[in-house]
Every structure is written in structure tokens, then in C-alpha cells.
Amino acid sequence: MNTNAFEQYESVVRSYCRHFPKVFTNAVGAVISDEDGNDYIDFFCGAGAVNYGHNNPYIKQKMIDYLMTDGIIHALDMFTAPKRTFIETLEKKIIEPRGLNYKIQFCGPTGTNAVEAALKLARKNTGRSNVFAFMGCFHGMTLGALSLTSEMYARNAAGATLGDVTHIPAPYMFKGLDVIEYMQTLLDDDHSAVSKPAAVIMETVQAEGGIRPFSDQFLRDVRAFCDKNDILMIIDDIQVGCCRTGSFFSFERAGIQPDMVVMSKSIGGLGMPLAVLLLKEELDIWKPAEHNGTFRGNQLSFVAGAASFDYLLENNVEAETKRKGEIVRNFIEKEILPLDSRLELRGMGLIWGIDFGAIDPNLSEEIIEKCFEQKLICECAGRNGSVLKIMPPLVIEDELLQKGLEIVAACTKEALKK
């Protein structure tokens, strides 16, 4: 294995390659292959960027067909045929059938840039600078988004003051704490030292926070809190959107409509870079180019993204995600949780976490290394990295899903014997 170029020339900031030290060459569906001919089951899914599988043949063919026409690839934010198709498909097949009403803003092609756009627009609409975010959240690595993100390891690397954000205890953190009442008290108490926020931003399932789903009722209560206090509600669906939780938008289960929705990762269909901000029409008060960027419109991303909408509808991806999610739940409850009463399982759809924190937070790291030795790629999340994260492509075959889960179980048993 030749890694000289990486070791000599690439910055030491690289991270995932430290967990998975192989040179990868190919990927199809839920399998990634290295240059030595080894195949690995993918329970990581590009951190949620390839929900519909690596090199999904339907989406890939649409991209190939477009490339063969010499279609325009780079167009800033000019009108193009692929952008029109993407917009029309997203609106007519995804947004409107769900009874939602959003305009679409194309941001720089990363989730963190879309979060930056949402922050700026919330502040522009309300004239307020503060934002409420929940402890345990992850919203990105650029300074505005990083000010929301609660992980200290990431925040400490900023080298700058990260302000204008009040971090609220997440509902799972303190038994008996009424988080809604707590937020209301911050607004009503003239000695709280907290300014009224422009917005509340939240993930419906805190992914990097340790696979922590917020209840349907809590999502509805936050919506009501925002309505009562004239505060905007922003849902970050970058990682847990695009069918990951079993519905295209992760908030659908609660029957709410956020004021803004931030999406990236699998919105690009095939791991293509794309990020969008969905916003209520009355909030669209930008002046031209107030949020700008050279790569707001990668045409191949539009082609892949539009194809992914058709693919997920034609192949019942939402229903299949829920069905496979029950396979994961049932397996872990039967084969892994009985290994130690201190283990905890959390998740929904096809995003699950096994929390080893009550035993030893380092166990999860040990187990993912053992899994990699057994040709399974999975990652850690949560406080002290104590949660083993299971997040395969939504299109994974049942047999591969079962095989991957059996590897997790075997490696967990081995680690717990020590």
C-alpha cells in the first residue's frame, strides 16, 4: 500500500483516513473496495452523503447522459436546464405533496455554507443577532456555523471568539428539566442576561451528538415556542434528511413546518457537492448577491439530485428505510444489548447508535477498529466518541445489512470480554 503522497504532502488535519488506513479505488451500492482487492461493507455512507448507494446506476446514468451532451457544467447562479429540472422536481414531487411551501436558495456546495445563509437571513429578517442552539449539536465548521456547534474540540480550533449563540440543554440531558419552560424563562426574566434570539436551530436527530432523536412532541413544542415568541425555527437536515430517518424530511413525523430547512450531503444524489436552504417565501428578503459563491450551481449535482428524487419515489426508499431500520433495531436488541445491561441503543430509520459510555467510552473506538479488520466501515459519535454509529446506504441489501450487523456483534463481544 503506497501512502507516501498522503504522508508527505497532505495536511495532518486529515481524519477519516486514520480510522480506515487503506487506499480505496471503487465503490458500488454498500460496498467499498481498496486497491488490494478487499471489499468493505459501508456502515458510514460518506457521513450521510451517499444515501442512495455508491455509484447508484440510475443516478449515474443520468449524469453520464448529461456529460455526453456537452452540457454546461459551471454556471454560477445563471438559469440552466439542469437547475430548472432540479427545482421543478424538488418542488412538485417532494415539497408540495407534503403540504409544504418553500422557496429554494442555492448556497455554496457545503452544509456549513447553507447554515451560514440561514443564520444571516434569520438575523436580517428579525433584526436580532442571538440564536438558540442545543447542546450536543453539530452544524458546521465555518465560524458562524461553528458558533452553533457545541463540540469543544471543534470550537477550540477556531482561534476566534464564537458569539451570538446561547446553547440550551438538550431535552435528554437533565432529568425533569422542562426545556421549553427554560427557554421561555430566558426570554421573560429581565435578569437572564440572554437576548431574544432570531432563531432556534436544531437537528431532529443529533447525529454527531450521539444519535439522539428528539421526540415528536418536543419538535411540536419548539415550533409552538417559536410561534409564540416570533422566533424563526430552522431545521438542520444536512445529515438526517433525504430519507435517512424514514421520511424525506426528518421533521415530517412531528407534523410541523419549520421556517427554514438546511440540506446538503445526499441532496446531491450521488455524493455530488450541493447545498440548499429551503425558506418560507415571506423570509426571502435578500438583495441580489448578498449571499454569494462561485460554486452555487454545479450542474452535475443538479442532474444527480433531480435523478435521486425520481429514484427514491420509484423505489419506495422511505418505506424500505423504515423496514430495514426495524431489522437493525431487532438485531441489536436481541444480539448486542443483552451482552451488557449498561449498553444503550438509540435511533430511527437507518441511523442508529450503540452507546458504550456507561461502560467505557473508549470501547466504541476499539470496536470500529476491530470492525474494519473484519471489512466493515463504521464510525463513532457522541460525547467522548462513546457511540458506535450505524448508518449504511438506504439501498443496502438485506444480506449485507445482516452481515454487517453480525460483524458489529462479534466485535462487540470480543471487546467486552476484556
Rounded mean pLDDT of 202-216?
98
pLDDT for the residue numbered 1? 87
Q: What mean pLDDT do residues 8-37 have?
A: 95
Confidence of residue 403 (pLDDT cuts 50, 70, 90): very high
Q: What is the pLDDT of residues 300-311, one digit of tens each?
A: 999 999 999 999
Averaged pLDDT for residues 69-84: 97
> Beta strand pairing status for 276-279 and 103-106?
antiparallel
Please state the pTM of the whole predicted model.
Answer: 0.97
Q: Give, to the nearest 10 degrees, the angle between helix 216-229 and helix 179-188.
A: 10
Nearest to 169 by CA among 179, 154, 156: 179
As a whole-number percent, the residues of the chain with pLDDT over 70 amount to: 100
pLDDT, position 301: 98
What are the residues facing 351 on neighbouring strands? 348
Question: What confidence category does residue 154 fall into, taking pLDDT thresholds of 50, 70 and 90?
Answer: very high
DSSP assignments along 156-190, one per residue: HTS-S---SEEEEPPTTTSTT--HHHHHHHHHH-T
Give the integer Cα–Cα distance in Å for 43 and 404. 8
Q: What pLDDT is recorded for position 380?
A: 96
CATH of domain 318-388: 3.90.1150.10
Mean pLDDT for 206-220 is 98
Angle between helices 57-67 and 299-314 (to 10 degrees): 150
Distance between alpha carbon 213 and the CA centroid of its chain, in Å? 13
Residue 297: band (very low, low, confident or very high) from pLDDT cuts 50, 70, 90: confident
| pLDDT higher than threshold 80 for residue 418 | no
Q: What does the block give as the cell for 91?
A: 418542488
Q: CATH: 1.20.1260.10, 3.40.50.1970, 3.30.70.890, 3.40.640.10. Which one for 60-314?
A: 3.40.640.10
pLDDT (tens digit per residue) in 25-50: 999 999 999 999 999 999 999 999 99
Domain ranges of the chain: 1-39, 60-314, 318-388
CA angle 385, 390, 396 (to 5 degrees): 155
Average per-residue pLDDT in the chain?
97
Same fold, 60-314 and 318-388: no
